[in-house]
Amino acid sequence: MDSYIDKISFCIQKGKIDSKSPYPPEMKGEPGADELTMEALRDGLNANDILTKAMIPAMGVVGELFKEKKLFVPQVLMSAKAMSSAMHHLKPYFASGELKQKGLFIVGTVAGDLHDIGKNLVSMMIEGSGWSVMDLGVDVKSEQFIEAIRDNPGSVLGMSALLTTTMESMERSVREIKSIYPQQKIIVGGAPLSSDFAKRIGADFYAQNPQTAVEYLGNIK
């Protein structure tokens, strides 16, 4: 059974989705995360073991390598796709309550900003770490963040901004949210940000890259 765990983990790390996927070339024709997860479940492997011993650690390795700039966005996207193809087979277990997400991460790009590349990457990595993600999209106003927090107590909020001008709307949103929900955990990220800025506006954490966001979430739960 351990060989399934190792193989699924390996496929996710390598971005091997299924046997039809030509990537990576050295695994062409071999089964991917999709088929292996299906087979593992059919052979009686515990869904929780697949999730917690294969899938989540594999995405952790990917995130770490990305943080160290040993892996790059195309490879990370392939790993996220492989993860997603495996996760598809676990859906019934989540629906039945046998598997549980670690928590809910609400994410959005702040008002006035339409960029979503960074936000999407962070969402994928956080989803890969076992969290459920609610993506509010781009150009998200404070009221939309507040409404999502109100409807989902206990969630963690992530905000993204790529422009120096929209860092101002990020600050506004963080202050408004904290004035209503002082205990609300807020992670911020984006190219022009820094930990000093995050501190100054009252955010709880500055995620320089997706993996640091994953690590932060791992520590608060």
Q: What residues make contact with another protein under the rule CB under 8 A?
A: 15, 21-24, 69, 72-75, 77-78, 81, 112, 114-117, 120, 139, 163-166, 168, 191-192, 194, 196-197, 208
Using the minimum distance from each CB to another protein, give the nearer residue, 46 or 120.
120
Using the minimum distance from each CB to another protein, give the nearer residue, 34 or 116.
116
Angle between helices 117-128 and 210-220 (to 10 degrees): 40
Q: How far is the CB of 24 from another protein (least distance, A)?
A: 8
- Give the C-alpha separation, 27 to 116, whole Å: 31
Using the minimum distance from each CB to another protein, give the nearer residue, 77 or 134.
77
Amino acid at 179: S
Q: How far is the CB of 139 from another protein (least distance, A)?
A: 7
Residue 15 is encoded by which pair of tokens? Answer: 């971005």
Using the minimum distance from each CB to another protein, give the nearer residue, 137 or 153.
137
Q: How far is the CB of 87 from another protein (least distance, A)?
A: 18
Q: Cβ(183)–Cβ(92) under 8 Å? A: no
Q: How far is the CB of 50 from another protein (least distance, A)?
A: 25
- Give the C-alpha separation, 177 to 194, whole Å: 20
- Collapsing DSSP to helix, strand or coil, 4 comes out as helix
- Give the C-alpha separation, 84 to 88, whole Å: 6
Q: How far is the CB of 150 from another protein (least distance, A)?
A: 26
Q: Which residue has the tokens 């890259």?
A: 209
Using the minimum distance from each CB to another protein, give the nearer residue, 160 or 184.
160
Q: How many residues are recorded in the chain? A: 221
